[in-house]
Structure 1
């Protein structure tokens, strides 16, 4: 089909990238602009998440489109969280990270008095990024506290392996999510720690979606669950808020935070005498993070490796694409084919495309369901490793692409930008209307119509990020 030829897709992709850069400099003047509450063109559509209501009644074999969409939302939350940690000036002070002052003196003429000039500390921003690692050290200590508490609660209180009760604080969710994406390691950890129930947890996609503000990408644990977490596991429900804004707790923890960044010994007992129960529990968690940094390193590295995937998802921003429904539908279909390749080529090393990897990650987040499904479908358990060398991945990807095309007669690696995905979705819709035939499809009309909608959606997202007034969609236009 000419529309989907590599040359045409490349041209569309380049056009999309160019328009994005233009919009970032200056918003389009094609639309009226209003405030958020006046804008009725919502992306993603709330209907995309409708099937989350039924996920705990009859868990789908394959990951649901709504679960994949929630996963995209969650990755945006992770991206936002890391930026807020790195940009926090309070944490700069808490971890003793400051720009180094260096002054050089010079004079233009021999008789002129020397003038001092302060040089910019070019390494300061790099040192600020170290705060993310310190934050993850605390998060990992809290994760171990949470997972032990949840496992005990599931046993003693008969808490079901799904629903709001298994929704953790955001920092714990970051660590848990990355750990689940290394399923063999997670199973070994559960055996080592004698955790009997947590592998049965169905990842709480519905509760995660409800906890996310998709305008700001903030995550808020509901008040009743926050209280339950504090009572059951002694964990504050929002680590970043506690570190930066809860003055009743963080003033005692400030010295501990500095010790975390400098690996110094700390006399905890002397300071606990002046702390109340909540302060004491929080300080002991940070103290555990200091003492167990070597033991926690693999979990911290899990999260740091996943940051690469988070950044890729943020760059594609599928969750804001007008074609997100079609993108995720096609990704689930490709993932099912990808699993079929594992069955057909049991001794081969297979590498997913980015969209397939998103669905694969979504599937693995419910550990026991994933394990049972792939054993039944493929005939063996398929582990997922995220620390494989670049060269091995490139070689494996080339082979996977060849086998995929040979088996399914379809292109494996395709352009996944908004333009290409939106046009493909529109063509598929027209084919359905025309009984599966694309000969009657008006390609030029589709390209023009989709181009207008993609331009609008890009403008909408960039305006939202920049805090500008949002464009209003022209009624009667678009898909």
Structure 2
């Protein structure tokens, strides 16, 4: 008999009063919103599309169905009063900030659930996934044919009987949407058959009920999973503790996942919890009384990788691809500069191995966090003897810029990352949640024109991808519709990889286009404006974002750059933009429109307060255009009774500016000057063990930016790199 993955939660929901429904949504414009009908979509997910095809419309629709299931999962978990000992009644202590307090409580439940899901995914990755080859060694990387490692001959035979639970699929999904990191982890751990097979859309889609939008597998499949991994199928049926090894005595301690305490203020909600998934985890080892905390566990993670390098000849993380994200062997040339730079972190660690082994030994506790490890390594980088040794005595003793980038890439695996992967997967899932929510709000799935919409999106995405390939020095920013196709493309890793490197710009090295997991919100805004201009050029005046919100209108305001384009194209673009307000297929609700996709927007720690941000020319111009667009919307509302946000239906009444009142977990939260390119107000850094919504760029800080983006570079040609 088929059962759902959330039977336990469903039984709870039948006992919950109407007012505590876990599927509570932001208020709709219609008081009598009809229940959505069951989907009747026949998708072709089995045939192999031509090699030149980026993604198919059926794959995009299957992706939308999966995202809808994830959205429901988050609603159910975050709304379960009392789950993980976190109660809704805590919010009653803050009547002046009741909605924000409720949102923080829901966020904390979801944060703990995701941390548990990542733990389960880690075990499934190790035990549940087949290994197509042994872990890559330094010898493998040094071979001339190392680049052929992406050509795996085996596939994973996915079926409904061997699919994992939904929470593990969710983490796998977010892991894959960081393509360079996912490729590195697959190479490092010998999971190239998983990389080549990609996300099994046909099998996953067959397990999603079109009526209830639930992920279902057979009872036999669940029992098989539990027997192999020694986990319960349902995340919530597993113990409330995690086993953590003491860095000093190596004894295993059972520590609680969370001991969440809301605190005295909403601003500092859950800052002082000391469970494993909390911000301030700290426990004493029951055997040796040694302090165990996140800082020491990150050092222990580095030490394990260090010992694997010294004893098993395994490369250090961050050493598996060149600066362009491509695995590149020595090519029978001993002094290949890209290869030597790629191997620099591993060779430096081997050269300093004896000292680092002593320094990171948990028994002496000299190194307690990554800041102290960074300082020690910087001492070695200032010693030319080590640089000379790391370069095999061939290159100069001066540290090259490319070697700095690779070294910093290696360290980014430890700065704010407790997982054995190339990135913090808890943060990846949480940031991806913003995109999941937007897709759920737009709800293309229930549109009668969903197939035509997907065809239009794919054509738009192909233009976007060409913009990225032709302009590797610039950051192209997708709209939500483009991002759907981009994400779907990335979930077929070999197809995405081959499409990326085979269409590289002439006279440049092949580049594996990455999907930046963390981007400064101000740079995201600038990148979106630039992308809009390039799209108009590529399509002869086409509109990149059809959203009618104030921000998207602001980016459509012609400026000095636009005047360089032919006057006719600018005029057509302006006329087309004005006509958006009268089109029946453009929603009056900005949350239903595909404006900028900002799920990866983060806020640098040194610029955390909006008032502390520099008043750059770009930011001032954006604010000016934003205010002009707002005034135009007000005039339209006065003339024909439309809502301020561009609503075309006067019977709905005025609608509050959605960028001053975003919805966080179903509750409206007032945020001064919030725009769609800004960091998600739902993410509160104090809720997590590793901060998913911020990076530290202050001088001397360890930082937690995504791999390879700390030192920005751009390519002039295949032979030079310019730094800034």
TM-score bracket, shorter-length normalisation: 0.5 to 0.7
Q: Where do 1:24-63 residues align within 5 Å? A: 25-26=31-32, 44-47=39-42, 49=43, 51-55=44-48, 61-63=53-55
Map Cα deviations across residues 28-74 of structure 1 (whole Å, 9 max, x no partner): 8xxxxxxx9xxxx9564322x1x11324x977832111110111111
CA distance in 1, matches of 2:71, 2:239: 19
CA distance in 1, matches of 2:527, 2:93: 49
Deviation at 1:205, TM superposition (A): 0.6
The 8 Å contact of residues 198 and 493 in structure 2, kept in 1 or not, is answered as: yes
Deviation at 1:242, TM superposition (A): 5.2
Q: Where do 1:77-116 residues align within 5 Å? A: 77-93=69-85, 99=90
| Residue aligned with 1:420, SS | coil
Closer/same/farther in 2, CA of residues 27 and 185 from structure 1, 3 Å limit: closer
Q: Where do 1:185-200 residues align within 5 Å? A: 185-200=181-196
Q: Where do 1:444-455 residues align within 5 Å? A: none
Q: Tell me how large the CA RMSD over aligned residues is.
A: 4.0
Structure 2 residue corresponding to 1:420, chosen from 582, 585, 593: 585
| Residue aligned with 2:90, SS | coil
| Residue aligned with 2:525, SS | helix
Closer/same/farther in 2, CA of residues 96 and 153 from structure 1, 3 Å limit: farther
Structure 1 residue corresponding to 2:465, chosen from 339, 353, 378: 339
**What TM-score comes out, normalization by structure 2 length?**
0.42
Alignment of 1:168 onto 2:164: yes
Higher helix share goes to which structure?
A: 1
Closer/same/farther in 2, CA of residues 195 and 324 from structure 1, 3 Å limit: same
The 8 Å contact of residues 335 and 360 in structure 1, kept in 2 or not, is answered as: yes
The 8 Å contact of residues 140 and 175 in structure 1, kept in 2 or not, is answered as: yes
Structure 2 residue corresponding to 1:126, chosen from 96, 104, 108: 104
CA distance in 2, matches of 1:268, 1:317: 51
CA distance in 1, matches of 2:28, 2:102: 28
Deviation at 1:268, TM superposition (A): 9.7
**Count of matched residue pairs:** 347
**What TM-score comes out, normalization by structure 1 length?**
0.62
The 8 Å contact of residues 147 and 198 in structure 1, kept in 2 or not, is answered as: no
CA distance in 2, matches of 1:166, 1:59: 28
Alignment of 1:238 onto 2:234: yes
Deviation at 1:333, TM superposition (A): 0.9
Closer/same/farther in 2, CA of residues 155 and 221 from structure 1, 3 Å limit: farther
The 8 Å contact of residues 71 and 362 in structure 1, kept in 2 or not, is answered as: yes
Structure 1 residue corresponding to 2:446, chosen from 320, 343, 351: 320
The 8 Å contact of residues 129 and 191 in structure 2, kept in 1 or not, is answered as: yes
Which residue number corresponds to residue 353 of structure 1? 479
CA distance in 1, matches of 2:231, 2:499: 34
Map Cα deviations across residues 457-477 of structure 1 (whole Å, 9 max, x no partner): xxxxxxxxxxxxxxxxxxxxx
Structure 2 residue corresponding to 1:401, chosen from 532, 556, 580: 532
CA distance in 2, matches of 1:101, 1:400: 45
Closer/same/farther in 2, CA of residues 412 and 241 from structure 1, 3 Å limit: same
Question: Which runs of no fewer than 5 residues in structure 1 stay unpaired?
Answer: 1-19, 29-35, 104-116, 245-252, 270-287, 423-450, 452-479
Map Cα deviations across residues 182-220 of structure 1 (whole Å, 9 max, x no partner): 111222333444544332222111111112223333222
Structure 1 residue corresponding to 2:114, chosen from 127, 133, 136: 136
CA distance in 2, matches of 1:328, 1:72: 10
Which residue number corresponds to residue 213 of structure 1? 209
Structure 2 residue corresponding to 1:71, chosen from 45, 63, 85: 63
Alignment of 1:179 onto 2:175: yes
Closer/same/farther in 2, CA of residues 312 and 122 from structure 1, 3 Å limit: closer
Alignment of 1:374 onto 2:500: yes
Closer/same/farther in 2, CA of residues 186 and 22 from structure 1, 3 Å limit: closer
CA distance in 2, matches of 1:96, 1:260: 19
* Higher RCO (Cα < 8 Å, 6 or more apart): 1
Map Cα deviations across residues 332-374 of structure 1 (whole Å, 9 max, x no partner): 1111122222333333321112111100000101222211122
Moved more, 78-87 or 146-155: 146-155
Deviation at 1:154, TM superposition (A): 5.2
Deviation at 1:177, TM superposition (A): 0.9
CA distance in 2, matches of 1:121, 1:361: 32
Deviation at 1:419, TM superposition (A): 4.2
Deviation at 1:97, TM superposition (A): 7.6
The 8 Å contact of residues 546 and 586 in structure 2, kept in 1 or not, is answered as: no
The 8 Å contact of residues 142 and 172 in structure 1, kept in 2 or not, is answered as: yes
Which residue number corresponds to residue 446 of structure 1? none
Structure 2 residue corresponding to 1:411, chosen from 543, 552, 559: 543
CA distance in 2, matches of 1:100, 1:407: 51
Moved more, 70-79 or 340-349: 340-349
Question: Which runs of no fewer than 5 residues in structure 2 stay unpaired?
Answer: 1-26, 135-152, 241-253, 260-274, 288-296, 302-415, 505-509, 549-579, 588-647, 649-724
Alignment of 1:309 onto 2:435: yes
Closer/same/farther in 2, CA of residues 264 and 101 from structure 1, 3 Å limit: farther
Map Cα deviations across residues 361-402 of structure 1 (whole Å, 9 max, x no partner): 001012222111221234532111131112111211111111
The 8 Å contact of residues 405 and 412 in structure 1, kept in 2 or not, is answered as: yes
Deviation at 1:261, TM superposition (A): 5.4
The 8 Å contact of residues 327 and 421 in structure 1, kept in 2 or not, is answered as: no
| Residue aligned with 2:217, SS | coil
Structure 1 residue corresponding to 2:126, chosen from 148, 162, 168: 148
